[in-house]
Structure formats: structure tokens, C-alpha cells
Amino acid sequence: MAQLPFGMHRSTFSLFLSAIVVLSLVFYHIHQLRVEIGMVHHRIFASLRDLETKAVVADQYLEQRVADNLRRVQNSQLEREKGIIQNKALAAAEQKIMEKIKEMAGSFDDRKRNSELNVLAFVKDYVHNFITNEIPIDVKKWFTLVSKQAHQICTLNHDDPVLIKYIREQLLIQPSAKQAPSQPKKGNYSDEITELLGILKNKTNGTFVEIGNHFNRSLILETDFSWNGMLIEKDPDNVKDLLDKSRKSWIAPTCISRKATPELVPFGPATKKGAKELEMLCMPFEALCLAMNITKLDYLHLNVKGNELEAFKKIDYDKIRIRVVEIGSNVEKSEIDAIKNKLLESNYRLHNLTVKADDRLIFVKKM
């Protein structure tokens, strides 16, 4: 029989081995518990860090909301103060006008007094419009120029690369990426639109330029026939209306220059008392076409008069090839005759319209 260590009895040795096994298991489980406790601590600390980050973000969000609300309150206060100032200005103007009328007219009988009140109401409305006449904020940046910059631009020829770059980067408004709020019903056209589409041979993917109109013709070409082009509009309110309609064509918020260079022309009354009359920076038609890379037009719609229409008497219609030119009914007859002669000399024929809804004229380039 083998000798047990330390002279142990066999049963004692078995108990000793069992104790060692039990202690090993205990130490193993203690180690496992420590590992699990460490993992739990790690998760707790990670959660605390995440909560801390979220708390910082929440604080920043709340600070931004508080700042936004404060700005809104301040803007609201400014609007109220502006309204109070305008009302005071209107009241003062009304008082002065009343005093002037009474001074000039002396005494009034009932009939004259009624006339006085009518005149007063009219002048009061005019004063109100004068005081509150401001360019819509949405389009103000396109109608605000530093005088020095404007006069420098007016020295540039229509094909000057500096002018073309200015038009592309600072003047032209890109087509809207938004969904248009409403679309005309396809195929539901008036007789004159139907006749125009026939002249254009229901062409798709054409190019147009429309100037000084409600832009209904180009809207149909744009939405129903996949045309693109440029809408030239000088009135800030109308430009804002075009933006609100999310048009898919380029917008040029300007007028047409009579010269080969840009020119400054008066446009509307001053927005503030004592300020100078508003001026608009008009661009040569050729410069706008160069900025848009247009050398060929399928359709040009002119509904302008005066100085702007005069510019189209000087255009080289061989350099900018235009297939169809429509002159709107808003144009004076004497002005129509001048451009009519120019177009006939430039190898256009006057189209015989079957729909005589207005005094419009359509010219088609001879093939």
C-alpha cells in the first residue's frame, strides 16, 4: 500500500482534496462575479456618460429655444413699435393735410365737406402707401445695391466676362426645387394659348424668355411641355410671387437696358422720408442671354413698353436666333409699329391670328 503524505489517513486525505476542489470552485465563482461586476460598472459609467451628453445637448437645445423665443418677442416688439411710428406719422400727415385743406378752402358746406373727406381719405391712403412702401424681405437682396458698385457695373459692356459672372452669381435666381403649390390643369387651355401651342407645333423641351407679364404662357410650356427658360421681372412684389409659386425656370429680377451696358433707371418712390428715389439696375438682353448660355430661343414673349421695348429695336436677331416673338396687348400701338418694322426687316413674318382676343401680335422667323 502506498504511503499517504504527512502520514495522513486515506479518509483525511480525501477530505483534504475535496476541500481544495471546493475552494477552487469558490475562488472561480468569486472571479466570475468580479468580472461581471466590472462589466456592470462599465455599463453604468457608459450610461452615465451618455446621459451627460444628452443633458448637454438638451441644455443647448433649450438655450436655442429660449434665444429663438426671445428674438421672436423682440421682433414682435419691433413690429409693434414700427406700427406705432407709422400710425403717428399717418396721424400727423392727416392733421397737416386737414389744416391745409381748411386753410385753402375756408368754409365748407355739406357737399364740399363730403368732397373734403373723400380727398382726405385718398391722400391718407397715398401717405400710408408711401410710408409703408418697402421691398419684400424675401427678395430685398436682389434689389439692394451699393451706389458705387452699381455705377461700376454700368461701365461694363454686355459681353464683358465680369458682367456675365456678376449676372450668373449675384443676379439670377435658380429654379425652385420645391413642389409648386398649384399647377394648371393640363389640356385646359384658352383659345389663344391653344393657337400659340399650334404655332409652336406643340414642341417639347423648348427654351423661352418671358418679360413683364403674368407668366401664364411660360407656366404652361414649363409644366405641360417640359420647357425651360428665363422670367425677367423688375417688380419686387411680382418676383416674390414667382418665388412663392416655386417656378422651375430661372428668374432675372431686373429690367431691360436700352444700352449695350447696364443702366440705372428710376423705379418707384423712396421707401423712407428724405431718402432718394429707388433705382433699378437694368441689364442688356444680350448679357442675360449670354449668362444663361442662350444663343437660340424657341419663344420670346414681350409684354413691356417704353424704355424696355426700345431695347428690342436694337437687338441683332441674327445673333440671337428667336423662332417666335409675341408682343403682348400691354404695348402702345406707336411702340408696336417700331418693333414690328424691325422684326419684318429681320426676316420675320406677321402670323395671321385666328383668335382675336386682344391686340397681341405674333411674329415667326422665316425658314
Confidence of residue 107 (pLDDT cuts 50, 70, 90): very low
- Band of pLDDT at residue 325, cut at 50, 70 and 90: very high
Give tens-digit pLDDT for 33-58. 888 887 877 788 777 777 777 777 77
Q: Are residues 88 and 151 in the same domain?
A: no
Tell me how far apart the alpha carbons of residues 25 and 6 are, in angstroms, rounded to a whole number: 25
What are the two backbone dihedrals, phi and then psi, of residue 132, each rounded to the nearest 5 degrees? -95, 5
Q: Domain check: are 118 and 170 in the same one?
A: no
If asked whether residues 37 and 122 sit together in one domain, one would say yes
pLDDT band at 331 (very low <50, low <70, confident <90, very high): low
Do both 325 and 211 map to the same domain?
Answer: yes
Q: What pTM was computed for the model?
A: 0.61
DSSP assignments along 172-231, one per residue: -BPPP-SPPS--PPTT---HHHHHHHHHTTT-SS-EEEEESS--HHHHHHHHHS--EEEE
Residue 181 sits in the same domain as residue 146: yes
Domain identity same for 78 and 28:
yes
Residue 258, number of CB atoms within 10 A of its CB: 19
Q: So what's the pLDDT on residue 98?
A: 60
pLDDT band at 349 (very low <50, low <70, confident <90, very high): very high
Using 50, 70 and 90 to split pLDDT, how confident is the model at 173? very high
pLDDT, tens digit (0-9, with 9 covering 90-100), for 183-205: 666 777 888 888 899 999 999 99
Residue that finishes a domain, picked among 132, 164, 188: 132
Residues 126 and 183 in one domain: no
pLDDT at 121 over 70: no
Q: What kind and span of H or E run contains 94?
A: helix 10-105
Residue range 230-250, pLDDT digits in tens? 999 988 888 888 888 889 999
Name the domain count of the chain. 2
Q: How far apart are CA 350 and CA 83, in angstroms?
A: 54
Q: Do 141 and 120 lie in a common domain? A: no
Torsion of CA 146, 151, 157, 162, to 10 degrees: -40
Please indicate, yes or no, whether residues 275 and 143 belong to a single structural domain of this protein. yes
Dihedral sign of CA atoms 149, 150, 154, 157 in order: positive
> Residues 268, 335: one domain?
yes
3, part of any domain: no
Query: For the chain, give me the number of helices (H) and strands (E)?
Result: 10, 9
Q: Domain span at residue 323?
A: 137-365
Give the pLDDT band of residue 134 (cuts 50, 70, 90). Answer: low
pLDDT of 215 reads 76
pLDDT at 143 over 80: no
Q: Specify the amino acid at residue 175.
A: P
Q: Which residue has the higher pLDDT, 282 or 108?
A: 282
Q: Are residues 240 and 285 in the same domain?
A: yes
Last residue of a domain, one of 132, 160, 193: 132
Residue 262 has a pLDDT of 93
Last residue of a domain, one of 132, 160, 181: 132
pLDDT for res 130: 40
Q: Domain with 220 in it: what CATH number? A: 3.40.50.150
Q: Are residues 152 and 118 in the same domain?
A: no
| pLDDT above 90 for 261 | yes
